[in-house]
Amino acid sequence: MGIQIYGFWRSIASFRVRVALKLKGLPFEEIPIDILSGEQFEAGYATVNAERVVPTFIHDGHSVYQSLAIIEYLDEIHPTPRLIPQDAKERAYARSLALMTVADAHPLVTPRVRNHLATAFRAESHAVEAWGKHWTTEGLATYERLLSHRPPEPFALGAEPGLADICIAGHVVTAEYVKLDLSPYPAVARLAERCFAMPAFSTSHPFEQPGYRAASKR
């Protein structure tokens, strides 16, 4: 049985998993769960994912949750090409870079958080937008400082793209969503450009997914 992903076009975490699968050349089927309309809370998906979030990775009847855990798992069962280096210090650096968006910046700008801001604080759309810009800017600034300290050659950890690049590229997609100008972050912008020149990244971009095309035609 092949690989199935429950995902959503807009979801940055789904984007990360899509890129990882494509870099490894693994075919997969993506089953859309519309997290904007609340499909993740319907009974059907609740049995698939106890947290009611996307993505869920399923292979041979085995499920893995959380994009970073999915990418680590893929790297263990299909090690070629490696997305996480073998050297312990380099692995740690790759994971540190990944987590700066996965665990700090990105969780603050997901649809469920934006919706809850509107409900809990009667936040107007411009204030929710400013909130998104604020946290995404924090992430960009952190990455710019780190990439200036250790310049990509040409990817974050070396010659080939990996976990860190996937997560930084996803952060740049979030920056597109919240309409941020990348010019104050030239090292980040160059890295993302290099990534999106590769089909594994460009074809995984949210705006290239069938769900986005269908939504934008409505």
In the complex, what is the shortest distance from the CB of residue 100 to its own copies, in angstroms, rounded to a whole number?
6
User: Is there binding between residue 66 and its own copies (CB under 8 A)?
Assistant: yes
In the complex, what is the shortest distance from the CB of residue 144 to its own copies, in angstroms, rounded to a whole number?
9
Tokens found for residue 115: 């919706």
Cα angle vertex 11, ends 70, 108, to 5°? 95
The dihedral through the CA atoms of 125, 128, 130, 136 has a sign that is: negative
* Selected binder of its own copies within 62, 80, 153, 181 (CB under 8 A): 62
Classify residue 63 by burial, with Cβ atoms within 10 Å: 0-12, 13-18, 19+: middle
**For its own copies, which is the closer residue by CB, 1 or 197?**
1
- Only one of the segments 15-23, 109-117, 152-160, 185-193 lies at the binding site for its own copies (rule: CB under 8 A); that segment is 109-117
**For its own copies, which is the closer residue by CB, 108 or 180?**
108
Q: What values do phi and psi take at 63, rounded to 5?
A: -105, 140
User: Is there binding between residue 163 and its own copies (CB under 8 A)?
Assistant: no
In the complex, what is the shortest distance from the CB of residue 51 to its own copies, in angstroms, rounded to a whole number?
4
Q: Sheet with 3-7: list strands edge to edge.
A: 28-32, 3-7, 56-59, 62-65
User: Is there binding between residue 213 and its own copies (CB under 8 A)?
Assistant: no
Chain contacts with its own copies (rule: CB under 8 A): 50-51, 53, 62, 64-66, 68-70, 72-73, 76-77, 88-89, 91-93, 95-96, 98-100, 102-104, 106-108, 113, 116-117, 120-121, 123, 127, 130-131, 134, 142, 145-146, 149
